[in-house]
Structure 1
């Protein structure tokens, strides 16, 4: 256990983050809960401890390369809790909402939140297209994050409606994204955003290339967006 403790500490130091003992212990417990539940429910294909630390925990923390976090954050399509739960561990004062469309995953996230003793965080069952229309969620967040694999044109429609004017949508994308950025430019603009920064990084301890995109919300999202469930994925704004 001590070796695992040191591995987490040393890994986050590569991101210039010094974790407290409590934070390291929360990451360790999160790992244990993840692999235990994964035996009966498909949460992740990545289960070996060093891989989870690098490809899930550290990867989630890569947002530190584009901004400091404060206020309210929503993680759209959180799945097993990435990046939202690691970000809550790293930034304890954040108010976090974890949004996922599968109720079984939400129940797992509720268990993780309880077992880790996290405060100011909730898991919500729903679709982004529906919650993005609701007054209690629409344009209520300083930051929206997503590691979902959807094309940026669709992802922008799922995520930007949640962000306050002046806030940011941060997308974690694999590989080089220049072409995707070009084709998504109009969608981002229509939804009220503009690309502010793109940072290309390699996750420490791996050869995995990651682009972290920071999209600033510069104006309100038109009322017709997001469109009804299923449409953004099938018919992206172009």
Structure 2
């Protein structure tokens, strides 16, 4: 999955289990499960992402899923969006140590400046950030028309889709669909809710660098 970046993926797991725990980015019991539960669980999203996509990872926290995707898919342009300064500092130090071309931005998806600067993404990812309706409200304005939100969810994904389907449509998204990915790499497979941005009332760029 990681090809010639496997050593960097291993180092990332080591950092998660060490300073990631001491900085409160993952729980103290999560360190020993970081490879399967966090890194591989996120990296398998790569099979849902088109080549050369511009990807914005909301509420990135410990860089999940943005960093595993950047390691698995060097073709992606990855931006990690995180509002908390201490997490931003950890992300910047981690990116520097891993020596990967990932951008770290401090801010929130709903901020006007963030929307103006980073709208037009091909893909927005989020893991354990917010309920689906709120996540769609934050994420959809950052996507180009036709771009997709990939929200990593748990066992209650279908219930969340049923509850928030109407709200997602009101925010300009398609009918959410639940997909499983990474079945050959992780057990259980990663559950992802996919929402496509359908209309252009947010004024996002239609292509990268335009608008």
Aligned to 1:125: 106
Q: 1:47 aligns with which of 12, 24, 31?
A: 31
Q: Tell me, in whole angstroms, the C-alpha distance in 2 between the residues paired with 1:132 and 1:154.
A: 19
Using the size of structure 2 for normalisation, the TM-score is 0.85
Q: 1:189 aligns with which of 154, 166, 169?
A: 169
Change in Cα spacing, 1:54 to 1:203, as seen in structure 2 (3 Å) is farther
Structure 1 unmatched runs, 5+? 1-16, 224-238
Q: Tell me, in whole angstroms, the C-alpha distance in 2 between the residues paired with 1:90 and 1:152.
A: 26
1:85 aligns with 2:98: no
1:136 aligns with 2:120: no
Q: Tell me, in whole angstroms, the C-alpha distance in 1 between the residues paired with 2:181 and 2:115.
A: 35
Contact 1:131 1:137 in 2 (8 A): no
Structure 2 unmatched runs, 5+? 204-211
Contact 1:141 1:162 in 2 (8 A): yes
- Deviation, 1:63, is 1.6
- Deviation, 1:125, is 0.9
Contact 2:13 2:39 in 1 (8 A): no
Using the size of structure 1 for normalisation, the TM-score is 0.76
Change in Cα spacing, 1:206 to 1:79, as seen in structure 2 (3 Å) is same
Change in Cα spacing, 1:200 to 1:206, as seen in structure 2 (3 Å) is closer
Contact 2:148 2:195 in 1 (8 A): yes
Q: Tell me, in whole angstroms, the C-alpha distance in 2 between the residues paired with 1:86 and 1:177.
A: 22
Q: 2:45 aligns with which of 42, 63, 74?
A: 63
Contact 2:140 2:197 in 1 (8 A): yes
Structure showing greater Rg: 1
